[in-house]
């Protein structure tokens, strides 16, 4: 929804303002996404995560019919880990724990989007291995016309 809202704001110059609403939407989106990415890097016994699923698949690959090469799965996991590490420390220090120390690195929107895309590619491959289905994406999709309220007010979406 944030990306759709951002596109709508780009199309409507009168909506392009630096105000609390825009800051709130951005900060909420970033916090939500970074915490989700952070969660899927955890592999301790109390965590359910994409990384833990990949490790289970790799450790039990001999029991998965048709799964012959773990190379691509390992490469996608490594890519996700590399992208996610750029945002994990910020999520830990600033969002999860509200540490008074300044973060050592503040991720950019490109860093966040790269981590989302890497996680999506990894998730798609896991779904293919487990279910035998090729998916276009694992990203959530709003199933109804939530932008209609803006269109009804004459705002270009």
What is the reported pTM?
A: 0.86
| Nearest CA among 20, 36, 24 for reference residue 96 | 36
Q: Convert the pLDDT of each residue in 8-18 to its tens digit.
A: 988 988 888 88
* Rounded Cα gap, residues 87 and 27, in angstroms: 14
Chain centroid to CA 147: how far?
Answer: 22
For 29-79, what is each residue's pLDDT tens digit? Answer: 999 999 999 999 999 989 999 999 999 999 999 898 888 779 999 999 999
Where are the chain's structural domains? 2-148
């Amino acid at each position: 929804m944030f990306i759709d809202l951002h596109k709508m704001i780009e199309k409507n110059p009168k909506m392009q303002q630096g105000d609390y609403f825009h800051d709130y939407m951005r900060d909420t989106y970033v916090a939500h996404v970074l915490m989700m990415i952070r969660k899927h890097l955890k592999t301790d016994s109390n965590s359910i995560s994409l990384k833990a699923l990949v490790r289970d698949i790799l450790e039990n690959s001999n029991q998965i019919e048709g799964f012959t090469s773990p190379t691509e799965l390992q490469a996608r996991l490594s890519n996700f880990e590399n992208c996610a590490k750029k945002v994990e420390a910020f999520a830990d220090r600033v969002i999860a724990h509200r540490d008074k120390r300044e973060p050592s690195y503040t991720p950019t929107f490109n860093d966040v989007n790269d981590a989302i895309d890497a996680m999506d590619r990894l998730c798609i491959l896991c779904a293919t291995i487990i279910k035998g289905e090729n998916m276009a994406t694992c990203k959530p999709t709003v199933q109804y016309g939530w932008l209609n309220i803006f269109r009804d007010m004459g705002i270009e979406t």
